[in-house]
Structure 1
Amino acid sequence: MKMKNPNGYGCIRIMSGNRRRPYAFIATVDGRQKYIAAFETIYDAKVFQAQYYEEHHRDFPPLYHKKITFSELYFRWLSFHKDEDRMLSKSTLTGYEYAYSHCVALYDKYFPDLQYLELQAIINHMRFKENLSYSSCKKVKNLLSLLYQYAIKSNICSTNYAALISIGKNHPIYPHHIISRQKINRLWRHADMPGVDSVLILLYTGLRVSEMLQIEKKNINLRQRFIRITKSKTSSGIRIVPIHPKIMPFILNRLANPGDFLICDSSGSPYNYTRYRSSVWNKAMKLINGLNHTPHDTRHTVATLLDNAGANETSKRKILGHAGGDITERVYTHKGLRQLRKCIELLK
């Protein structure tokens, strides 16, 4: 049975006709229903609905806390979480949406009434019915943990059942492989082929592919020769990465091309991960007989090559955007651009 929204929560209606934004959010203003905004997806409309309620109804009735559904709590949490952490990357938000989509059996259930077995059933269905990966199950467990933390702080419930969920052991479906020196040399021999330069940029910066695809040209500092990463999956990922001399020609060439982002197609449009993987990465890997590699292999390769070259551990962590290993490193150790450049130039 679908639960009734709290008073003042508004509603979402599908508008007639062939519209780009068919989902309209309607709210009661001064006793009359009023169109507020329209959205491309029901998900975006519900995020806005939660934000609107948060802004216009600061004092929640105590009863509402006990009658809130899983779906309502999710969108209220997401609104709160986005306000609390304005550095959330697009990939992180996409991960939340993906995890939420697997919880459909819980959407209309009262959150305080949920039991451990109902949560475990979601994971079991993913593992044994849909045969999904450990990583997918972990995304759902992480989301449920965040929701319970929010619910407990909001006095909606008192027990974190997400902590009891079992997701099994990690058996990687796609184990990561280091890209060999021979294959890197082959990439250099094909450096004039479309898109190969972007793979070499990954191999000489250690960037996550999502970080590279979100680099805006304004965040390239040519005078001091570094890239400023402003969007990453972790707070440690917000950093500067020196530009290795070997990839500087690629950076200059990309800056002269159309578009606001460093990595764009010929029309100046940026790539998302899926399009980059299919139209750029896979073609480059085919040239070097490397179709078993994923973009994340470049980070493993950079980390391994720096290790083999005896790189300073703190500098390596700073370049890769990893959190420090101990309190001394995290709080007291500072590595300037000169030291980071010395580290990155160990890559040959």
Structure 2
Amino acid sequence: MKNPNGYGCIRKMSGIRRRPYAFIATVDGRQKYIAAFETVYEAKVFQARYYADHHESFTSYHKKTTFAELYFRWLAFHKSEGQDLSQSTITGYHYAYSHCSALYDKCFQDLQYLDLQAVINRMRKNDLSYSSCKKVKNLLSLMYKYAIKANICRTNYALLLSIGRNHPVYPHHVISRQKINRLWNALDCPGVDTVLILLYTGMRVSEMLNILKTEVNIRQKYIRITHSKTASGIRVIPIHSRILPLVQVRISQPGQYLICDKTGKPYGYARYRATVWHKVMKQIRGEKHTPHDTRHTFTTLLDNAGANENAKRKILGHATGDVTDRVYTHKSLRQLRKCIELLK
């Protein structure tokens, strides 16, 4: 299904440019450059919004909106709702959208349950993970909620989708006390300090890699997490006394971020796992472990030490389901530090 008249087009400009994707629209009978973007996704979001703002026939066009067009309109709407979307969240949406290529040119309101289930079945046939299937189902559900609000359709077929049972590809294992002791005995090995920081803070790896040095308060001994996958993840974590010297050394090294390589360049997750994590795990004979195991280990050790449940959730950045705990329970930095110092 082709785009409507006046929808404009996206062109990739020649040469090396920071914003290579140009949006071109017809204005007064002539094609006119409107704006340029770093990615084609940003250009398509702008294209959908531009058409909605400049054409009175936009409402009537809902009746023949394709899946691809609705995706970019939904994404523009989702961003404008005031959602604080991280780059990893947007990347996750694009990843899920890429698996729906069979639906791109189909009229959204004509889609049926079997069309959607076929996408999931194809993913499972190709041995894609439960997590990947879940991301696609979540995306479809969000798109249907938007389509219902926009009076494009009335039924959310995504709620009926079956994605099978979760069989973890990488089951999580608690890191033993013996291996933790090996880490302390191998501090001269590059990167060992980062694993210990994860073990004694309970941070997600992505959170640790995004910490700026300005977000570390050495005097009051805490780290402020400002980039997280959830709203509850924005929090303050006390610095355990055992890792305080490790954090101080990291602060004194080159670079804007707390965790950098020797040149001061920050790590992405893939580079950290390939160049740091695997080498450290080989050093302590812990090759079966994944970075997320540090978070499971942190939680298990605090449970074993009898830590306060609300304090533990605050440190981990978990939302609480209990209204009393969520609204009326407040934990000071001193109480959180008392909790985290239970780790030995």
Over residues 103-145 of structure 1, what are the superposed CA-to-partner deviations in whole Å (9 max), with x where a residue is unaligned?
Answer: 01111111111110000000000001x1111111011001111
Among candidates 45, 48, 63, match of residue 47 of structure 1: 45
CA distance in 1 between partners of 2:45 and 2:20 (Å) = 15
**Helix, strand or coil: the match of 1:241?**
strand
For 2:84, the equivalent position in structure 1 comes to 87
Residues 1:97 and 2:94 aligned together: yes
For 1:245, the equivalent position in structure 2 comes to 241
Give the partner amino acid of 1:107: Y
- Asked whether the equivalents of residues 281 and 295 of structure 1 are also in contact (C-alpha less than 8 Å), the reply is yes
CA distance in 1 between partners of 2:51 and 2:204 (Å) = 36
RMSD over aligned Cα, in angstroms? 1.9
**Shift in Å, 1:150:** 1.0
Over residues 36-83 of structure 1, what are the superposed CA-to-partner deviations in whole Å (9 max), with x where a residue is unaligned?
Answer: 3444543343234334445x4486632122121111111111122223
Give the partner amino acid of 2:112: Q
Residues 1:210 and 2:209 aligned together: no
Among candidates 147, 150, 159, match of residue 151 of structure 1: 147
Distance 1:60 1:223, change over 3 A: farther
**Shift in Å, 1:5:** 2.5
Distance 1:71 1:321, change over 3 A: same
**Shift in Å, 1:262:** 1.4
Among candidates 28, 32, 35, match of residue 33 of structure 2: 35
For 1:61, the equivalent position in structure 2 comes to 58
CA distance in 2 between partners of 1:30 and 1:315 (Å) = 62
Deviates more, 1:147-156 or 1:306-315: 147-156
- Asked whether the equivalents of residues 24 and 38 of structure 1 are also in contact (C-alpha less than 8 Å), the reply is yes
CA distance in 1 between partners of 2:203 and 2:7 (Å) = 42
Over residues 210-260 of structure 1, what are the superposed CA-to-partner deviations in whole Å (9 max), with x where a residue is unaligned?
Answer: 111111222212232111111111111111111111111222222222222
TM-score (norm 2): 0.94
**Shift in Å, 1:22:** 3.9
In the TM superposition, 1:278-293 aligns within 5 A as 278-293=274-289
For 1:115, the equivalent position in structure 2 comes to 112
Residues 1:174 and 2:170 aligned together: yes
Residues 1:316 and 2:312 aligned together: yes
- Asked whether the equivalents of residues 51 and 58 of structure 2 are also in contact (C-alpha less than 8 Å), the reply is no
Distance 1:52 1:4, change over 3 A: same
Deviates more, 1:15-24 or 1:190-199: 15-24
**Shift in Å, 1:325:** 3.5
**Helix, strand or coil: the match of 1:158?**
coil
Among candidates 336, 342, 346, match of residue 332 of structure 2: 336
**Shift in Å, 1:23:** 2.7
- The runs of 5 or more residues in structure 1 that have no matched partner are none
Give the partner amino acid of 1:276: Y
Give the partner amino acid of 1:61: F
Deviates more, 1:61-70 or 1:36-45: 36-45
Provide the aligned length of Structure 1 versus Structure 2: 344
CA distance in 1 between partners of 2:201 and 2:164 (Å) = 34
Distance 1:36 1:222, change over 3 A: farther
CA distance in 1 between partners of 2:67 and 2:35 (Å) = 24
- Asked whether the equivalents of residues 91 and 210 of structure 1 are also in contact (C-alpha less than 8 Å), the reply is no
- Asked whether the equivalents of residues 9 and 27 of structure 1 are also in contact (C-alpha less than 8 Å), the reply is yes
CA distance in 2 between partners of 1:268 and 1:49 (Å) = 38
Distance 1:118 1:82, change over 3 A: same
CA distance in 2 between partners of 1:115 and 1:84 (Å) = 28
TM-score (norm 1): 0.93
**Shift in Å, 1:334:** 0.7
Give the partner amino acid of 2:322: D
